[in-house]
Structure 1
Amino acid sequence: MKAIILSGGKGTRLRPLTYTGAKQLVPVANKPILWYGIESIVAAGITEIGIIISPETGGEVESKTGNGDRFGAKITYLKQDQPLGLAHAVKVAQSFLGDSPFVMYLGDNLVQSELDQFIDKFKSQHLDALTLLSEVENPSAFGVAKVDDRGNVLQLIEKPKNPPSNLALVGVYLFSTEIHQAIANIQPSPRGELEITDAIQYLIDQKQKVASFQLSGWWLDTGKKDDLLAANQIILDTCLETTHEGTIDKESKVSGRVHVGTDSLIKNSMIRGPVTIGKNCKIENCFIGPYSSIADDTTLIDVDIEHSVVLKGATIEGINSRIVDSLIGERAHLKAAPKRPKALRFMIGDDSQIELS
């Protein structure tokens, strides 16, 4: 079995960050979102992975992710010249996939459950498609499945006005080679894309074996700022281990689960976990509150911050109001004059410079 991960798209909901980078490389708990999917696939025993990339951000994805050695995998990069739909991405990957069944994983999704159980069901029941489903409060915003009592998929509808259920399609699918024939027999949707829901519906209409698996754990689509902050919180809650590899002076107080990376310096600061701080950071006269991720090479001086993600190389200094619920881009520089309101919320793109006065 092989796998493909979709890492294209324009990431419009995470702009301005995605004007300068791929949304799948935005970090959650200081690790690119894309890498969580790769690790999950490799943990399930699949090591041949194709990553679908776009012309705009593909070079960055390839340079940061590499050939797969760090994950114990072999990664092949497949360019999708235009974002023409998930089914079109499968079409782009057809020569890579050959006659192998495969997992399709959306690169900006995080799924708590291990893939082994889904793969076991797919193989043991000789399925042509297995869709992962999760209950959601707003099914009209998703592709939605109608299933029978045994979990067989009867119908798929993309963002329905009147949803037949509250079961949304999670961004992980398993397919046999029959999906290629299905894609060859569908037409672009009104938005000009080849929809994977239409291809799966074709399989259903042709009486192929299409089943579902309902997730019991969390599923996170990190396409928007608040979703990404929620994902950061959950990962810190469930995965963070305490390690102090940098230097913490005697005036600093650290409590809860906190990771401090190598060559980082913590001076006269309070850090209340869960918090992860990357390598080569300088934290001075700061309060770093719960659910904060501070990436490598950042400088924070005279700052109070919590429930926020600060990307690599950013500098924040002299902010007398607490920063909350914020996403600060790479190499951004944020500083302020003395008088400030009680709380500040930011979403700042890479290389920004902002001075509050």
Structure 2
Amino acid sequence: MGIYLFKSSIFNAIDNIEPSWRGELEITDAIQELLNTKQKVDSHIVKGWWKDTGKPEDVLDANHLILDVLQSHCGGQVEEGAKISGRVSIGKGTVIKKGSHIKGPVIIGEDCVIDTYIGPYTSIGDNTRIIGGEIESSIVVGDTLIECNERIVESLIGNHSQIRSMDNLLPHGRRFVIGENSMVRL
């Protein structure tokens, strides 16, 4: 296993390789293409502990590890009547609305609007609006709208996604792994 860091030239290499016998584009083939086109490829031995994040559960585990060392910070606005407990980092321009409860460790990016319960081990990217429902132990990449009466747990939610309620049913636990530009109606 390895950890890979690439410059944008990797995309040209990927465009020039064919899928393997498994029908997948292989990272090792892309690296070989970089070498074939005389691009700089370097390696380093990583000492100590690291985590492979090949599955959604692994990404959520890595999020837990990162949030375990989070320092509290407030660059946004917490309205009177909102409750913040534990280690919570709130980005610039973010508004935590009255009645919300944020229970850390939680990190919330810039220019977000939060009007709900955000539970431990949740990371929320910039420009996200979460209105109603609950979310816990999840990653919301950013530029996302979540407006529902559902409980979202252990989920990965990609850029430009929308999750909206279709009716006023009682909340149920939901788990999502959705990519960019997705829309879910519950």
Shorter-chain TM-score tier: 0.7 to 0.9
| Matched length | 173
**Letter matched to residue 354 of structure 1:** V
Asked if residue 230 in structure 1 is aligned to residue 170 in structure 2, the reply is no
Whether contact under 8 Å (1:297, 1:312) holds in the other structure is: yes
1:220 is aligned to: 51
**Aligned pairs for 1:24-173 within 5 A:** 53-55=10-12, 79-80=13-14, 81-82=16-17, 83=25, 86=28, 89-90=31-32, 92-93=34-35, 95-97=38-40, 102-103=42-43
Identity between Structure 1 and Structure 2 (%): 37
What 5-or-longer segments of structure 1 have no aligned partner?
Answer: 8-49, 56-78, 105-117, 119-171, 173-212
Match of 2:103 among 264, 268, 272: 272
Higher strand share: 1
Question: TM-score of the superposition, structure 1-length normalised?
Answer: 0.45
Higher normalized helix content (fraction of residues): 1
Task: State the Cα distance separating 1:342 from its structure 2 match.
Answer: 3.0
How many Å separate the matches in 1 of 2:129 and 2:10? 32
Q: CA RMSD in A?
A: 2.4
Structure 2 stretches of 5 or more lacking a match? 18-24
1:263-299, Cα deviation, whole Å (9 max, x unpaired):
1000121001000000000011x11000000100000
Larger-Rg structure: 1
1:61-94 residue CA offsets vs partner (Å, 9 max, x unmatched): xxxxxxxxxxxxxxxxxx3422455276156237
Q: 1:335 aligned to 136, 155, 164, which one? A: 164
Aligned match of 1:249: 79
Going from structure 1 to structure 2, the CA distance change for 1:54 and 1:342 (only over 3 Å counts) comes to same
Relative distance call for 1:87 and 1:288 in structure 2 (3 A) is: same
Query: 1:54: how far off?
Result: 2.7
Higher relative contact order by CA 8 Å / sep ≥ 6: 1 or 2?
A: 1
Q: Does 1:351 align with 2:181?
A: yes
The amino acid that maps onto 2:102 is I
Does the CA-based 8 Å contact 1:6-1:51 persist in structure 2? Answer: no
Q: Secondary structure at the match of 1:53?
A: helix
1:220 aligned partner, one-letter code:
K
Q: CA deviation at 1:257?
A: 0.8
Cα contact 1:275–1:290 (8 A) shared by 2 = yes
